[in-house]
Every structure is written in structure tokens, then in C-alpha cells.
Structure 1
Amino acid sequence: MPEPDHRARTLGSEAEAAFRSEFGAAPALAWAAPGRVNLIGEHTDYNDGFVMPFALPFYAVAAASKADAWEFHSTFDGGRTVRPGSLGGVEGWAAYLAGVAWALNESGYEVGPARIALHSDVPQGAGLSSSAAIECAVLLALAGLHGHDIARDEAARIARKAENEYVGAPTGILDQSASLLCEAGRAMFMDCRDLSREQVPFRLEDEGLTMLVVDTDAPHRHADGEYASRRADCERAAELLGVASLREAPDGAAVGDDRLDRRLRHVVGENRRVADTVAILKGGAVAGIGELLTASHVSLRDDYEVSSVELDSAVDAALGAGALGARMTGGGFGGSAIALVEAAAARKVETAVAEAAAAQGLPAPRVSAARPAQGAHRVH
């Protein structure tokens, strides 16, 4: 097992301290699971296409011990402790913990009551998979307490079951897979049709580069209805083309409807951009992916229509300040953008993004430098 990530180890110590303070004893173990950013490959997952996430150096940590009754404590939300009488009907942040326990039992991995202290520095509401990080950390902690050795692929399916069927969020499996399976220094190329994957070298520092993650602090406006609309558009386009999914659509395909053809053009083009990104990274020329990132954003903005004024501001300002490439990341309508920059220019780009937001009266963005971090691992 790899050595714990330094940041994860620090958060693990903080989670253990919170456990001791709340429950009066040391936890039996603690697991950390990261948030993620999608390098490229957006709105392709439900079209059986290609995605390419990497884990962020932000982690959720679950410190846990067996107990006589369920007790959930978090260091956020005012440091509350929730003591549900059963695993049914739990709401708020505690629903992710109860949901994972429920999903494990439903999947044949029996787990009993436990005390869990949850600590996380994954930004919430930024489109960086804070909920998946929590689910994966809790799942591995509960599995460890009860001696279950669960393959990471299956763990991702169980965590998604918790989010889909217990919490009620209709997410795919990308977020949980990234949190559990990504590796340090690599981006994970995944085929969403068969869930096969390949770890592709993505060592920014070798070329003097860094990746900036820009949390625009913008809410995901109308996201649920718009996501459903985009998915329906894709399904209709596939039906008109006579294919099972837009993964099978050839280059240049069209159905004669302007809106559907724009959705189709994005999905086909985005799959091609992911494949091109893989080829460039395998060749060791990280800077060469910049144009593909920017082309992805243009397609998401114009053809898929899922960007926002905040995301466009961040991308345009980053490119104007010299970024090699930039794009929105995640589902859109708010959330975060990424920018590939020369490390020496990172401060200039960050300043430009902040000034552009201020000039338009937008929320002040939070910018952090990211590296491809280690997937879920034990920290105690």
C-alpha cells in the first residue's frame, strides 16, 4: 500500500483528534478519499464515452470504530453529532454516511453500528466531488472495521448506489471511480461503456507547469432540469441515428435538428479530444493539451450550452493572462474551471481571474494549484 499523502496524513490526524474529543477514545482506523477534477471528457459519461479525471490533493477523512449504536460527527456544519436510531431516513450530510452503511448491507457486506468522525477539506458545491469523497472514505472505513476486502471497482458501484438510491442524487459512477482508483502523478482514462481504464502519466512539474482550479463560488443554477434536458437531447439524437448511444455516432453525423446536432457535435468532438489528450500525454508533451482544453470549453459553451458567466469569465481571463489552455470542468451552470499554466505565470493568471470577476460584479473566485494526487488510502 502506498504511503499516505502528506495532506491526507495531516487531515487524518485532525480527524482522529475530533474523534477523541467527541467520543473520548482513539478511533480504530481512518481512511482518506480525495475529490476529483475532470481533465477533459465532459457530458460524455452518460453517452458511453470517454472521461479523464485525476484526484485532487483535497480529502475527506473518516475516522471510525465499532460501537453499540450509530453516531456520526462532522467537523463542519457547526461540529454536530447525529445519532440516528436506524439507518433509515437520515438527512443532510449524515445521509451520505448512513447511505453508505445501508448500501454495504444491501450489497451483501454486513456492517454494524459504528462511531464515525468526518473531516474534509474538499470544497463543497464547487463541482469537485465532495460527496463522493465522503462516501468513499466512509465505505472503506466501515469495510475495514468489519473485515471486508472489497475490490475498488465494486466499492465504486456501492458508493454510487448510496448516492443514487439513498441520498437521491442521480449521479454516474465517474466521481466514485476517480476517488477510489486514481493514482498520484497520473490522470485516469476511463471508457464509460465497459469501465475499462488506464493510468496515464500526467506529471506537470516535469515541464514546469501547474494546473489551477478555479472555484467560481457560483451556484449550479437550474442544474437538475438542464442536465435532464441535455441527456434527453442525446438520447433523442441517438434514436434518430439508430445507434445505442452517441458513442457510436461517426464524425460529421447529423440528424437535421439544430439543437440536437449541436449536442451531437459536442459529444463526438469531446470523445475525440479525450483520445487526443491521451496520445499527447503518453508522448510526454503535457503543454500540448492546452488547445484541447480550450476547444472543450468552447464546445461546452456554444454547442452544449452548459457554461455560465462566471465560468466564461474565469476561462477568458486565464487565457488572456497567458494560460496554455482553460475550460470549465464538471456538469456546468456554475462550479469550477481549470487552467493549465506555466508555474512561473500562476500568480499572474490567478490575479487576472480575480480582477475579471470583480470587474463584472461576480463572486470572488477561490484559486488553488492542483497536482494529480493519490486515490483513497488508509491514514491510520
Structure 2
Amino acid sequence: MPHVFQEQAMPRHTTATITDVAREAGVALGSVSNAFNHPDKVRPETLKRIREAADRLGYAPNQSARMLAGGRNRLFGLILPNLDHGVSLQIANGANAEARKHGYGLLIATAQTDEDVAHRYRDYFIGTQTAGILMQPPASTDWQPPVHPPRIPLAFLDIQCDVPGHFVAADNFALGELLARHAFKSGARRVAIIGKPSLNRLVLRVKGMKHAFTTESDCAFEVVEEGAWNSAHDGLDLGRQLAERPEDTRPDFIIALTDTLATGVISGVRAAGLRVPGDIRVAGCDGNPLAWTGPVPLTTVAPIGYEIGRRGVRQLIAQIEEGPEDEPENHQELVRPFLLARASTGMNRSDDFADPDIDISGYL
């Protein structure tokens, strides 16, 4: 499992030396050095004996000294705004799995949605000479990458951006198109899209939906710019209001911009005495398993954060292998979404949108 930093991390103090460990384990100094720097070069039984001796003595390698001696840090740092959303948890799991695959460890820091705290963690990772840094910026519409990025491999996650740098995000425009197509292909006649487009990713989802509805269907639709993206209570209120409309103006399909909103909508529609999906079909669109707690299985997109985390690590490794660019360019990767069609829209199967390179079985 990766290590997770909270606001303060206490250093480990020790007076034991590498010589003490060698004496305690009954091995040469070189064997102890290899055990901590190149464990693949040490026989398993010797490695076990050295580690047990180090634990008994309370010894830990001096990372700063190793760097000064020309050693290479095999750790990546990951800075998340919080750990209260499924996407952030998926990013952490995906990044950790990919880092381990390539022989790296992962340190995780949570900034509690405070940009100053995020910057302090970034400076900490730079100061300890980690091999690279992954950052998921706090959710906002005005976020911009640093004008002078640090001279260390760096990738931003869950962000679409067109300036020089490395970025990985879900293709939110395509995500919006995908949900709109699901609505009109399932027979919807009147669709309501609900949620305040307060984040760039939400704006792109709405644009994708509008594009699909206006170019591929004559289905009537409206955009209700109400409801905070992270409020199930707002979803409940909106679901009840829409369900209580006269039948000739009531939507028969509601797309919420997030799964949290959608879960609330289902409760609101049911509270108004209507059935989901019998009277109104409901879909979310951000693949957040933490919101899948309602009475009706929610149609949404497959959780995509795991793949974002994996690709972020690949971008760091590419930067390490290729070195700094003479003229920095934009490197934006977009992860294609695919649908999880479930009972809330009258379906119980996934539509044929799967990316063959993505295996979601490990993080659903």
C-alpha cells in the first residue's frame, strides 16, 4: 500500500548506523547497502535477515545522504485535494499500481482542498528529490498550472489544459455526448440536464450533451443550472420539483452532472410518488462509486480515475527517460469514457463503448 501524508509528517529519528546493521545481521557492509539500494541483488534469506536487524535497531537509510552520493530516488509523490471522492481514490490506486509495476514507490499527500498546503507538499517532494510529482488540483474553474514549473517530472491529473505541460483527464466532452446518446437511444422525448456547471469538467459535459442533442436527435432538452455538484440534497430537491411538473412538461429522462446529484434525484422523484425508471429515467455521469448507495442501481460511466492515475505515472516515466524538452509542449491525454447502463435507466448491461485497453474489474 502507498504511504499517505496528512498535514504534518513526523521524521523517523535513529542513531543506528549501517555498520551496526551489518554487525547485527552478520553480513558485509556491501550487503546492507545493496539491501536498501538494490534489493534484487541480495538473496531473499539475507535480505530478510538485514531488514529484521534494521527493524530491531530502529535504522532507516538517510535519504538526503543517498542523494548526495549520487543515488536515485525511486519514489513518486502524489498530491490530492482530498480523499472524499471516488475519483481521487481511484487515481491513488491506479498511480500506485503503475508505479509498483515500474519499480517505484508512491507517497500520497492530501491538501484538504487548500492550495497553500498543496504547494507546501510540492516543495517538500522537490526538496526530498522524489523522482516525479503527480498533482490533482482542487476543483475550480480558474485553476492554471504554475508559470514556472519545478525542474522535476510533473503531471497534472483530472485536468484538461492547453498550455505547455503534462495533463491527463477524462474526455468530458465525449462523456457528455455518451450520456446524451444513451438518453435518446433509449426513447427519451424530454430530457432535463441538471447541475451548476461550476467546474471546467462540468462545462465540458454540458457542451458534449448539447452537441449530441442538437446534431444527432430531435429530442427536446433543457439545461437546469441548479444544484451543487457534491450535494445529494440539491439533487433531491430538483428531482422532486421536476417530478411534480404537469405530465406534458415533465421530463422523462434526467441527466445529473455528477453521480452524487443523480442519487439525490432518484430519491426526489420517488418522494414525489413517481417510479425510477418507470416514469422518469435518471443517469449520473462521473463514475463515483462512493455515490452508488441509492435504492436503484445508477446508470453512469465506468470509474475512470484508476486509468488517469496509471497514465499520469507513465507520463512521469516518459519525462525521466526522455529528459527535459528544449521547447516545452502541451501533452494532454484524454481517457475515453464508456457507459455503465443500469436499472435507473431501465438497463442492466454496459453498452458497447468499452476501451479494450482499460480493465475496470479491479476498481469497480
TM-score (norm: length of structure 2): 0.27
**Structure with the higher helix share, 1 or 2:** 1
**Structure with the higher strand share, 1 or 2:** 1
Q: Which has the higher contact order (CA 8 A, sep 6+)?
A: 1
Q: Which structure's CA Rg is the greater one?
A: 2
TM-score (norm: length of structure 1): 0.26
